[in-house]
Structure 1
Amino acid sequence: MNSPRTRTVRRRNLLLAASTLALLAPLTACGGSGTGAGDGKTLRLWHYEQEDGALSKAWDAAIAEFKRTHPDVKVVFERKTFEQIQQNAGMILNSDKAPDVMEYNKGNATTGLLAKQGLLTDLTPLVKEHGWDRKISEDASVTARYNEDGEMGGEQWYGIPNYGEFVLTYYNDDLFKKHDVDKPTDLASFEAALAKFKAAGITPLANAGNDHPAGHWLYLLALSKANATWVDDYQLYQGKVDFHGPEMTYAVDKYQEWLDKGYFEKKDVGLKGSDMTEQFVSQKRPIMVGGNWWFGSLTTDITDFAWSTAPYPGSDDTLGSGGNHWVIPTKAKNKELAEDFIDITMSDKIQKLIGEEGNIPLAAKPDDITNAKSRQLINAFHQSQDNGGLSFYPDWPVAGYYDTWVAATQNLMNGGKPEAVLDELAGPYEKYRATRS
C-alpha cells in the first residue's frame, strides 16, 4: 500500500483534476439565494438526527439562536427518519411541500442526483460570501461539491457540512479484561482476539445485515487491501474497477470466513443499526466497528462498563468524509432565512457544542473542546483526514446503490457464493459507468 503521504498527495491531485473538468456554470433550474416566493416570516426545517444525540442537541441550539436573532420568524421544525428522506426526497423537493432547509445525505446517489435534477440550490456564492470554504477543509468539502453530472468533487457547492464522520472500532474494555484478551494492534492480533472470545462462548463482533453496518464491514475489508488509486477509481471513476480483483475478492472471502467461524452471527442478517449498538451496549458483543455517529448516544447509554475507541487495526484507510449537510431546495420559499440558519450552524458557539456533545465539528479546534473523550475522537478524525485515509462510502458512486449493497451483504450472510455476491455488486456500478459521457 502507498504511504500516507503518497495517498494524500495523490488523492488531492485526483480531486483537483476532477474539479478542473467540471463546468463552471451552475446546474439548470437551480436558483440563488432569496429567489423563493416566501413571506420571510417562516422557516421550515427538516432533519433526521436522533433526539438527544449530539447533532440533535446542536441543531436545537442553532434553532434557539435563530429564534433569538429572528424574533419575528416562526420556525416549523419536522424530525424525519433517514429512510423517509432517503426514499422520498426527490418527489418531495419537486413539489410545493419542499422545506426551506433540510439535512441530506452526501454522495453521487443522493445530493449529486438531486443537484443534477435541478432540485437543489447552488450555494457557491453563499460559500464565498460567508467564508464557509475557509472553515471547511478541501477534503471535507469534496462531498459538498458536484459537477454537471452530479458527481462529487466538482466546482459547485450544493451542501454545507458542519461535522466530520468516520468508521472506527469500539471496545468493551471490561470484557477484554475479564477474558484476558489483549487489545488488537494489527489484523493478526485482531483475529486472535476474535478467536479467544469465540472460544469463551462469546460472539465477538456486533453487526446488522439489514442496514449500513454489514456493507461497511465489507468495504472496510476491501480497503485493507486497496490503495489510493483503487479508491479514486471506484469513487471518482478515474479508472476501471475489477470487482473480482484482489480487493473485493479478499473482502467477501474474509467476511465468509468470519461468518463460518462464528465471529459474526448469521442471524444478524435482519437487524438494523440500532440493534447492532444494543448488542454492544448490553455487553452481548465486545467489539463493534461503526461510525462515530454512535459515539454520543453510547456515552449516554453505557453506564455499567468501561469502553474505548480506536482505529480499526486491519487497515490504514477507513470509511469517512465530511458529514451529511444542509441543503436548500430549489423550491424553498424562504431561502434567505435558510442561509441565516446555516450560518448559525457554522458559528463558533454551535461548532464547539457539536464537539462537547461527542461529535466532530469541522470548524472548531480540538484543543477548544473540554470533553477529553470527545477531543480524542476529534483528533483521531483529523489524523485520518490528514493522512488521506478517509475513503468515502461504498454506496456513493451510483444512484440506488445503497439497496444493492444491503441486498448483496445479506446474500453473503445467507450463504450466497462470494462470486455471485461480487457480480451482484458489479452489475449496477458497471451499467452506470458505461453511460457516463
Structure 2
Amino acid sequence: MFKPGKALLAVFAVAATVLTGCGSDSGDGNANELRLWHYEGPDSAMGKAWDEAIKEFEKSHPGVKVKFEEKGFEQIQKSAQMVLNSDEAPDLMEYNKGNATAGLLSKQGLLTDISSEVTKRGWDKLLSPSLQTTCKYDERGVMGGGKWFGVSNYAEYGMVYYNKDLFDQYGVAVPKTFDELVAAMDKFKAAGRTPLAVGGKEYPAHQLLYQLALSKADSKWVKNLQEYSGKVDFHDDAWTFAATTFADWVKKGYIAKDAAGIDAEGMGTAFMKGEFPMMVSGSWWYGRVESTVKNFQWDSFLFPGSDLTLGSSGNLWVVPAKSKNKDLAYDFIDITMKKANQNLLGNSGGIPVAADSSAITDPKSKTLLENYQTLVDRDGLAYYPDWPAPGYYDVLVSATQKLINGSASPDQVLDEIAAPYNENLENVGG
C-alpha cells in the first residue's frame, strides 16, 4: 500500500506552516524554504509524528521556511509523473512504494538516487532487509534492486479491526481459523448485520481479494508475483479461491452490494461509527481509530487461517530529481528516523522502524507491534496487489467492483487482472 494508505485522504487540501531553520541549498530555488508534501491525516500516527518533526526542524534549522502541503493519496497517485517532471516538484514528498509507483518514477529518472545519503546517515542500519526491499530499485524499476530511491520511517500491515461490543452482543468469539471467520459472519448476517465494512471504489476491496489469495499462497508465490522471479498463473488455486470466495461473500451478504461505490474514507468512517462488526484493512487506520472511536470497545486480530498478509515498509520519503533543496530534505528525513520521533509514532498507533520498545507504553500500540513482530518472524509480509505493474491500481479497482456488482464472473475478473500484468512483464523483460 497501500497504504495506499491509510488515513488516506481522498480530498485535496493545502496547508502552509512556516518554520525556521538552516541548511545547505542543493538547487537553484529558495535556499530558505523546504517544500514538503505528504498525504497522512493529522489524526494518524504518521501525521502526528511528522508534525512534531516539523517543529523539531524549526528548532534545529533557524532561518528556513517549510511550506507543508497536504495532498490526497489519489491526487498524488494520478499526477505524480506530471508534477515531478515540472518546476512544481516539491523538495520532499511521501510516495507509494512498489514497482508501479516509486519503481516507475525511478526508472523514468524522476527520483534522486539517495544511496550515498542512506549510507552516510545510517538509515540502512535501521531498516531490516525485508523493509529495504521496497526502498531499493533496479534499472527496470523493479523493487529489491541495488539503488535507494526512497526510505521509510515506519512499517504497515493488514489486519481485521473488530467491534468488541457487537461481538459480545451477538455472542461471537474472535475467530482463530478461516472457518471460524466464516461462521462469525454467518452469525452476524443472521442477526441482520452486514459483517464487513468494505470500500470498492478505492483500494480496500482489492486488498481483501489479495488477502484471500494469500491465504492459499506461500512466499514463493509472492516473490513470483511481485519480483517477476517465476511463472504467475492468475487462474491458479490461490487466485481462483480469492475471486470465487469474494463473489460468494457478496452473494451471502457478508459484503454489501453498494460497496462498489464506497471509498476508503466512507468504509473507515462507517466502521468507526459502529455500523459494522469488522473491517479488513491496514495499520494506517490504527491511530485514527484509536483517537476517534469513543462509543464502543474495539480491537484487532491478524487475518485468520493465513500465514501471509498484506504489509511492507510504509510509504517512502522520496526526493524528486528536480528538488531544489535536497540537503534540507535529507535533514528532515533524518529527524523522522530519530528515536524521539519514532517513539512518538509508536505511541500514536504507528509501527516505527527504530523506536525504543520500552518507550511504547500505549496498550493497543503494544498489541499492534506484537502482531507485526509475529508477521516478521514468520516472513509473512506479502506486499500489495497493485504494485507489480503501472496502472494496476485502477485495473484492480475496476475488476473488484465487477465482483461486487456481479457484472463479471470470477474467471472473467481473473482474465482482466492477468492481461496488464503479462503485458508489463514483457516490457520489463520478465
Pairwise same-fold verdict (TM > 0.5): yes
In the TM superposition, what whole-angstrom CA distance separates every residue of 1:47-96 from its partner, at most 9, and x where no partner exists? Answer: 11112221111111111111111111011111111111111111111111
Quote the Cα distance in structure 2 between the aligned partners of 1:366 and 1:286: 31
Query: Is contact 1:366–1:379 with CA below 8 Å preserved after alignment?
Result: no
Q: In the alignment, what sits opposite 1:418?
A: 410
Quote the Cα distance in structure 1 between the aligned partners of 2:30 and 2:260: 49
Matched, 1:429 2:403: no
Query: Is contact 1:366–1:378 with CA below 8 Å preserved after alignment?
Result: no
Quote the Cα distance in structure 1 between the aligned partners of 2:143 and 2:428: 14
Q: In the alignment, what sits opposite 2:4?
A: none
Single out whichever of 420-429 and 34-43 deviates more from structure 2. Answer: 34-43
Query: Is contact 2:156–2:311 with CA below 8 Å preserved after alignment?
Result: yes
User: Which of 138, 141, 155 lines up with 2:129 in the alignment?
Assistant: 138
Query: Is contact 2:178–2:305 with CA below 8 Å preserved after alignment?
Result: yes
Matched, 1:186 2:177: yes
Q: In the alignment, what sits opposite 2:327?
A: 336
Quote the Cα distance in structure 1 between the aligned partners of 2:271 and 2:427: 43
Q: In the alignment, what sits opposite 1:298?
A: 289
Q: Give the letter for the 1:114 counterpart.
A: L
Quote the Cα distance in structure 2 between the aligned partners of 1:251 and 1:39: 51
Number of aligned residue pairs: 405
TM-score (norm 2): 0.93
Query: Is contact 1:408–1:425 with CA below 8 Å preserved after alignment?
Result: yes
Quote the Cα distance in structure 2 between the aligned partners of 1:340 and 1:171: 39
Matched, 1:315 2:312: no
Query: Is contact 2:339–2:356 with CA below 8 Å preserved after alignment?
Result: no
Matched, 1:227 2:218: yes
Q: Give the letter for the 1:232 counterpart.
A: K
Matched, 1:168 2:176: no
In the TM superposition, what whole-angstrom CA distance separates every residue of 1:165-207 from its partner, at most 9, and x where no partner exists? Answer: 0000111111111111121010111111010111111111110
In the TM superposition, what whole-angstrom CA distance separates every residue of 1:272-307 from its partner, at most 9, and x where no partner exists? Answer: 111111221222210111101111111111111111
Q: Give the letter for the 2:413 counterpart.
A: V
Query: Is contact 1:171–1:308 with CA below 8 Å preserved after alignment?
Result: yes
Q: In the alignment, what sits opposite 2:352?
A: 361
Matched, 1:83 2:74: yes
Q: Give the letter for the 1:430 counterpart.
A: N
Q: Give the letter for the 2:36 counterpart.
A: L
Q: SS of 2:189's equivalent?
A: helix
How much has 1:35 moved relative to structure 2? Answer: 4.2
Query: Is contact 2:93–2:318 with CA below 8 Å preserved after alignment?
Result: yes
Quote the Cα distance in structure 2 between the aligned partners of 1:126 and 1:195: 53
Quote the Cα distance in structure 2 between the aligned partners of 1:335 and 1:261: 53
Q: In the alignment, what sits opposite 2:118?
A: 127
Q: How does 1:243-258 map to 2 (within 5 A)?
A: 243-258=234-249
Instruction: Find runs of 4+ consecutive structure 1 residues off by over 4 angstroms.
Output: none
How much has 1:38 moved relative to structure 2? Answer: 3.2
Query: Is contact 1:208–1:273 with CA below 8 Å preserved after alignment?
Result: yes
Query: Is contact 1:367–1:375 with CA below 8 Å preserved after alignment?
Result: no
Quote the Cα distance in structure 1 between the aligned partners of 2:94 and 2:219: 29
Query: Is contact 1:206–1:280 with CA below 8 Å preserved after alignment?
Result: yes
Single out whichever of 191-200 and 363-372 deviates more from structure 2. Answer: 363-372
Give unmatched runs, 5+ long, in structure 2: 1-23
Q: How does 1:357-436 map to 2 (within 5 A)?
A: 357-415=348-406, 416-436=408-428
User: Which of 41, 51, 67 lines up with 1:60 in the alignment?
Assistant: 51
Quote the Cα distance in structure 1 between the aligned partners of 2:189 and 2:174: 15
Quote the Cα distance in structure 1 between the aligned partners of 2:104 and 2:25: 23
Q: SS of 1:336's equivalent?
A: helix
Query: Is contact 2:198–2:279 with CA below 8 Å preserved after alignment?
Result: yes
Quote the Cα distance in structure 1 between the aligned partners of 2:298 and 2:67: 39
CA RMSD of aligned residues (A): 1.1
Q: How does 1:197-216 map to 2 (within 5 A)?
A: 197-216=188-207
Quote the Cα distance in structure 2 between the aligned partners of 1:265 and 1:404: 21
Q: Give the letter for the 2:69 counterpart.
A: E
Query: Is contact 2:157–2:310 with CA below 8 Å preserved after alignment?
Result: yes
How much has 1:36 moved relative to structure 2? Answer: 2.1
